[in-house]
Amino acid sequence: MRSPRSRALERDAAAVEHVELIPGMPDDVAVDCLARVPHGSHRAMRRVCRGWRSAASAPAFASARAAAGANEDLVYLLQFSNPAAEGPKEEGDAPGNSPPYGVAVYNVTTGEWRREKAPPVPMFAQCAAVGTRLAVLGGWDPQTFEPVADVHVLDVSNGVWRRAPPMRSARSFFACAEAGGKIYVAGGHDKHKNALKTAEAYDAVGPSPPGLKAGTARAVCVGGGERVVVTGAIEDADGGSGRHALWVFDVKTKSWTVVRPPPEFAGFAFSVASVRI
């Protein structure tokens, strides 16, 4: 029987072994070929193999599409659907029993229309885009008809939705626009239908710290702005919290590293600061 160590070594060797994206073709040429695949076929392309999925999800893939002249312009619309007028379903379309208010996509380059697979979208939610990320914010809960602060973000480059930290205020029928890499929301109504006189700036570009409980974060920049350190509570599966950790965000790679402090340093931090000497 193989020992755990031998199995681990085999896994490491398999990870090191390089597999060509397209057999017999240099990877840079293969990426150029994949970059020319129409966006509507990207879901199917990512399912071909792990290498293609990694290549299509890499930040450099967008540059490869631009260099190949293969960029497509997509317009996302939040709207009520008309089930009676729905035609045959295409690959990647939302199912026929989709909620009546959802995300529609018009491809300006190809002239094609489709419905985006998405989590339940609050009625009258607003949307704005930053780079290749689409944020869906606020709106009415379809069950209670009360405004929500929910935010969902779609990474259009890989088709993955994630639940992002909520807005500070639940609101509906508000103004929403992108400027300088941030999304600004202003005005709207609260749950009593009173007009709101507040505005917020929302960062939808960076991924949120995995496992961080909303409302518990404290943060500080380090390394001259190259990294951000966040401390807060770890959210349990049932939504509760009891443990604490640090999350370190690398601005260049846009990736998080979770740091578990020793037990004697695992208490909640009410404030943080950074010094470089």
Could you tell me the residue ranges of all domains in the chain? Answer: 4-67, 167-265
Is the full-model pTM beyond 0.85? no
Q: What is the DSSP letter of 112?
A: -
172 has a pLDDT exceeding 90: yes
pLDDT band at 126 (very low <50, low <70, confident <90, very high): very high
Contact by Cβ (8 Å): 232, 218: yes
- Angstrom distances, CA of residue 154 to CA of 26, 171, 194: 31, 20, 30
152 has a pLDDT exceeding 80: yes
- Minimum mean pLDDT range among 21-25, 108-112, 155-159: 155-159
What pLDDT score was predicted for residue 155?
87
Q: Quick one: the chain helix, strand, coil %, rounded to 5?
A: 20, 30, 50
Range list of H helices, the chain: 4-16, 27-35, 42-46, 50-57, 60-67
80 has a pLDDT exceeding 90: no
Contact by Cβ (8 Å): 148, 138: yes
Instruction: Please count the helices (runs of H) and the strands (runs of E) in the chain.
Output: 5, 14
